[in-house]
A and B are shown apart, each in its own frame.
Chain A
Amino acid sequence: DVKVTQSSRYLVKRTGEKVFLECVQDMDHENMFWYRQDPGLGLRLIYFSYDVKMKEKGDIPEGYSVSREKKERFSLILESASTNQTSMYLCASSFRARDTEAFFGQGTRLTVV
């Protein structure tokens, strides 16, 4: 079974803290993604990476950065957490070939207080 594992299921952080969300996949996928999911807004792409050390901005990259030093690991960084970053964060991965499905991690519910 494909596994995409996120480091935390629930996180509570204070405003201004630096927050790291980690994601690891075991299927040798080239592509990895970070989304946030909010009620009424659906899944929105923050960043994606199509290869090691490569990254591209998604639709809402402001306030976030990412790191991909190894193929299996993709990290999302909130440099200075704010309350409007309270959300469900979902990591996903897929093969680069056309029209392959994305496999999602279990999600991290982040609350910034």
Chain B
Amino acid sequence: QKEVEQNSGPLSVPEGAIASLNCTYSDRGSQSFFWYRQYSGKSPELIMFIYSNGDKEDGRFTAQLNKASQYVSLLIRDSQPSDSATYLCAVNPGQIRGYQKVTFGIGTKLQVIP
């Protein structure tokens, strides 16, 4: 079983709809969770991160954690064509010698249809 799993997509949503992206993780002790956005041909950039103690909202983006089921989700409200990108989920199981061994999923490609 992969440590971090995502459906590669593409996930297609109409403009203005809610896009829901999900990620499951295998390490029950994971402490923090990151969502990166990667436009085609570009490098990943962080859009949200949450700790194991709660959800987070930032503008049109909401990250939610379900610890019991070991999945984290990213909701994008009022989706825009500019949101079309690949969304990478990353999970931090904890520190090893001061290093956070973050593991990335393969990413979900989101297409927002005008």
Please give the residue numbers on chain A whose beta carbons come within 8 Å of chain B beta carbons, in ascending order. Answer: 30-31, 35, 40-45, 48, 50, 56, 90, 94, 96, 98-99, 101-102, 104-107
B33-62 to A contact mask, C-beta < 8 Å, 1/0? 010000000111110010100000000000
Please give the residue numbers on chain B whose beta carbons come within 8 Å of chain A beta carbons, in ascending order. Answer: 8, 31-32, 34, 42-46, 49, 51, 88, 92, 95, 97-107
Question: Given A40-B8, A50-B97, A50-B99: A101 and B106 within 8 A (CB)?
Answer: no
Question: Given A42-B106, A101-B34, A106-B42: A31 and B99 within 8 A (CB)?
Answer: yes
Chain A neighbourhood of B31, CB < 8 A: 98-99
Question: Given A42-B107, A104-B45: A99 and B51 within 8 A (CB)?
Answer: yes
Q: Which residue of A lies closest to B46 (CB)?
A: A101
Cross-chain contact B43 with A90 (CB below 8 angstroms): yes
A41 to B46, CA, bound (A): 20
A48 to B96, CA, bound (A): 12
Chain A neighbourhood of B100, CB < 8 A: 94, 98-99
A101 to B47, CA, bound (A): 10
Cross-chain contact B99 with A106 (CB below 8 angstroms): no
Cross-chain contact B99 with A56 (CB below 8 angstroms): yes
Not counting A42-B107, A99-B92, A106-B43, a sample of 13 additional A-B residue pairs whose C-beta atoms are within 8 angstroms of each other reads A42-B104, A43-B44, A43-B88, A44-B104, A50-B98, A98-B31, A98-B32, A99-B31, A99-B51, A104-B45, A106-B42, A107-B42, A107-B43
